[in-house]
A and B are shown apart, each in its own frame.
Chain A
Amino acid sequence: MAAGRRAGFGGLRLTARGGSLLGKGLLGIYLTVLVLLPIAALLAKSSTGGLDAFWREVSNPEAVAAIKLTLIASVIVVAINAVFGTVIAWVLVRDEFPGKGIVNALIDLPFALPTIVAGVVLLALYGKDSPLGIDVAFTRAAVGLALLFVTLPFVVRSVQPVLLELDLAMEEAAASLGASPLTVLRRIVLPTLAPAIISGVALSFARAVGEFGSLVLITGNLPFKTEAGSVYIFGQIQNENLAAAAAVSVVLLLAALLVLALLTLFLRRRSQHVL
């Protein structure tokens, strides 16, 4: 039976689209035009002039400051998300209160909202005319704030389904064996949630490293102070230093991909034990 099923999964019998050579060709062209060519061009541009040129662009003090700011802010933000994201997911799954449905839906707002609007929105509450009297505009805190906003959904949405599926019997068994709530949390719940948290963290990090729109207005983009990596790249493009922009882009891209790859590997190794 298994063999039959395996064969059924499209040896020759693909349905209409994707089955014909023309279809596959068109898909391939689309993907090439949109992703393959641009990425290739990016890599090529960043390496014209060889390793020295690359290094020169990347070790430019302003670039270094921008990259550092981005990476450090992203790490901090992602750590905060790991904690708060899990807590929020917990409350949304295990708790009950009026308006929970609305709150749950709103978690996706940072995803649906244009990044520039996110910046405007944060500025309204935490900028110059803030009713709370807090003004973080043009400070590093603003960078953190913006990144926290845009990366909010990732850990929450990653953890929620796992939490829903979490077999309560496990926790009850642990409790019946004498474990305190804290122990149950530490040794049963969190380890089970860990892969989901990590996966959410990876996505958050990739997003944070590349974030642009929400930073533009609220941080003031002050070089060496509040200029993030993406903003620096933007500036270089404006000044037609495409090679410099490409070089720093590659650095940020590698950072994001490296984290994604490391975490995926970590998850895979873990799941080999757990399963």
Chain B
Amino acid sequence: MSSSGEGALPIPGAPSARRSSTRSAARPPAAAGARAARRRQLGVRAIALGYLALLLLGPVAMIFYRTFEHGISPVLNAATTPSATHAFWLSLEIVAIAVPLNTIFGIGMALLLERGRFWGKAALGVLIDLPFAISPVVVGLSLVLVYGKTGWLGDWLAEQGIQVIFSVPGMVLATAVVSLPFVVRETMPVLRELGVDAEQAAETLGASPWQTFLRITLPGIRWGVVYGVVLTTARALGEFGAVSIVSGRIEEQTQTLPLFVQDRFENFDSTGAYTAAVVLALLALGTLLAMNLLTRITRRRTEA
């Protein structure tokens, strides 16, 4: 029985946490206890890594293998078909519109929620978080119910000659909805930590509200915003369900890359499907990299 106070689960072999030095000092040389603890540690590590291997790493590795199994040229061919390239650019186009919109909204909303004083902030927060709790399919449905032909604004939109559902605007809308909360949620704590002092100092020095925002607030929150933008972009690129419903899935017109994957799969074009999947997986891995780097940058800054 280990009396080093570490608990039943692993004692780190090497100093990972900051308190490690006290921990190793506290551990008595009881050999049997230490061996049992080490076995437990390895056991738990095996369980965790095994689970991750089966659920996460294995499948992802598999897809890369399957895609490039027959060499690189079938992949390149699949990647350069007109449908594939169209799907790719359409995805980027939608992201290029939805993400900036959500970013502006996100910063504005964060400022409002953090700096403003009014009743109903909680309700506002719930509204913003709603896209987290709703199925993308439900998002698509509710958009159709408002902006579709038979929707609330259906007639009015038809009169204006604007088509939302079954065309790109609707897809942008759906993408924006599902990726709405990220910039807000990531910016708010940074804004809170920044505090109002610097902004007030700028004000006493004669800066207008806009000058204060551009030169003091924005630089202060930029890493929170960037992180939020990364999350938003990842979510937007990968959106499937909501976009599927509002797009009509017409090939080469309203197919984003995720929709393209499904289409190829259903048409038994596994190479095409895997290729597109790999492209998306690579973009996802890029996102992870960005997230990781940003976390490290912000951590370094707060420790400075």
Task: Answer whether A257 and B284 are a contact pair too, CB < 8 Å, given A125-B59, A148-B55.
Answer: no
Grouping DSSP codes into helix (H, G, I), strand (E, B) and loop, the A interface class, with mixed when no group exceeds half, is: helix
Q: A171, B7: Cβ atoms under 8 Å?
A: yes
Q: A217, B265: Cβ atoms under 8 Å?
A: yes
Which one, A34, A181, A217, A229, contacts B180 given CB within 8 A? A34
Interface size class of B (residues with CB under 8 A): 35 or more
- Residue B111, interface by CB 8 Å: yes
Which one, A13, A31, A108, contacts B127 given CB within 8 A? A31
Task: List residues 111-141 of chain A with CB under 8 A from any CB of chain B.
Answer: 111-117, 120-122, 124-126, 131
Task: Answer whether A10 and B196 are a contact pair too, CB < 8 Å, given A105-B292, A210-B136.
Answer: yes
- Residue B76, interface by CB 8 Å: no
Which one, B13, B135, B281, B291, contacts A209 given CB within 8 A? B135
Question: Which single residue of chain A is at the shortest CB-CB distance from B203?
Answer: A13
For A35, the chain B residues whose CB sits under 8 A away are 127-128, 130-131, 177, 180
Q: B258, A253: Cβ atoms under 8 Å?
A: no
For A27, the chain B residues whose CB sits under 8 A away are 105, 108-109, 112
Question: Which single residue of chain A is at the shortest CB-CB distance from B200?
Answer: A8
Most buried by A among B138, B196, B199, B212: B138
Which one, B7, B244, B285, contacts A184 given CB within 8 A? B7
Q: Can you list, as one digit per residue, whether each of B52-68 has a CB less than 8 Å from chain A (1) or not (0)?
A: 10011111101100100
For B13, the chain A residues whose CB sits under 8 A away are 95-96
Q: B200, A131: Cβ atoms under 8 Å?
A: no
Interchain CA distance A249-B23 in the complex, whole Å: 52
Q: A124, B117: Cβ atoms under 8 Å?
A: no
Expressed in whole angstroms, the minimum distance between the Cβ of A163 and any Cβ of chain B is 10
Q: B59, A112: Cβ atoms under 8 Å?
A: no
For B96, the chain A residues whose CB sits under 8 A away are none
Which one, B3, B16, B44, B145, contacts A96 given CB within 8 A? B16
Most buried by A among B22, B23, B144, B199: B144
Question: Which single residue of chain A is at the shortest CB-CB distance from B151?
Answer: A41
Question: Which single residue of chain B is at the shortest CB-CB distance from A178?
Answer: B3
Q: B23, A168: Cβ atoms under 8 Å?
A: yes
Q: Can you list, as one digit per residue, whether each of A1-36 has a CB less than 8 Å from chain B (1) or not (0)?
A: 000000011110111111100011011001101111
Binds B, one of A51-59, A86-94, A267-275: A86-94
Interchain CA distance A87-B146 in the complex, whole Å: 44
Q: B48, A87: Cβ atoms under 8 Å?
A: yes
Which one, B9, B131, B141, contacts A42 given CB within 8 A? B141
- Residue B186, interface by CB 8 Å: no
Q: B59, A124: Cβ atoms under 8 Å?
A: yes
Interchain CA distance A27-B102 in the complex, whole Å: 10
Q: Can you list, as one digit per residue, whether each of B138-180 has a CB less than 8 Å from chain A (1) or not (0)?
A: 1111111110001111000000000000000000010011001
For A109, the chain B residues whose CB sits under 8 A away are 56, 60, 284-285, 288
Q: B142, A111: Cβ atoms under 8 Å?
A: no
Q: A184, B141: Cβ atoms under 8 Å?
A: no
Question: Which single residue of chain A is at the shortest CB-CB distance from B132?
Answer: A206
Q: A17, B111: Cβ atoms under 8 Å?
A: yes
Question: Which single residue of chain A is at the shortest CB-CB distance from B6?
Answer: A171
- Residue B78, interface by CB 8 Å: no
Expressed in whole angstroms, the minimum distance between the Cβ of B250 and any Cβ of chain A is 14
Q: Can you list, as one digit per residue, whether each of B9-31 has a CB less than 8 Å from chain A (1) or not (0)?
A: 11111101101001100100000
Task: List residues 82-110 of chain A with CB under 8 A from any CB of chain B.
Answer: 84, 87-88, 90-97, 103, 105-110
- Residue A72, interface by CB 8 Å: no
- Residue B273, interface by CB 8 Å: yes
For B280, the chain A residues whose CB sits under 8 A away are 113-114, 117
- Residue A175, interface by CB 8 Å: yes
For A171, the chain B residues whose CB sits under 8 A away are 5-7
Expressed in whole angstroms, the minimum distance between the Cβ of A234 and any Cβ of chain B is 5
Expressed in whole angstroms, the minimum distance between the Cβ of A46 and any Cβ of chain B is 10
Q: B131, A94: Cβ atoms under 8 Å?
A: no
For B291, the chain A residues whose CB sits under 8 A away are 105, 108, 112
Question: Which single residue of chain B is at the shortest CB-CB distance from A42?
Answer: B142
Question: Mind listing 28 A-B residue pairs with CB under 8 Å?
Answer: A8-B197, A10-B114, A10-B116, A13-B200, A17-B111, A19-B209, A30-B101, A35-B131, A36-B127, A38-B143, A41-B142, A42-B141, A84-B48, A88-B51, A91-B44, A95-B12, A95-B41, A105-B291, A114-B237, A114-B261, A116-B240, A120-B63, A121-B60, A184-B5, A184-B7, A206-B132, A213-B136, A213-B258
Question: Can you add 20 more A-B contacts, CB < 8 Å, to A95-B10, A213-B136?
Answer: A9-B117, A15-B115, A17-B107, A17-B111, A31-B105, A35-B180, A37-B152, A95-B12, A95-B16, A112-B285, A113-B280, A120-B274, A168-B5, A175-B2, A184-B7, A184-B8, A233-B141, A242-B144, A242-B150, A257-B133
The 7 tightest CB contacts between A and B, nearest first, are: A210-B135, A172-B5, A114-B238, A38-B142, A175-B5, A181-B8, A16-B213
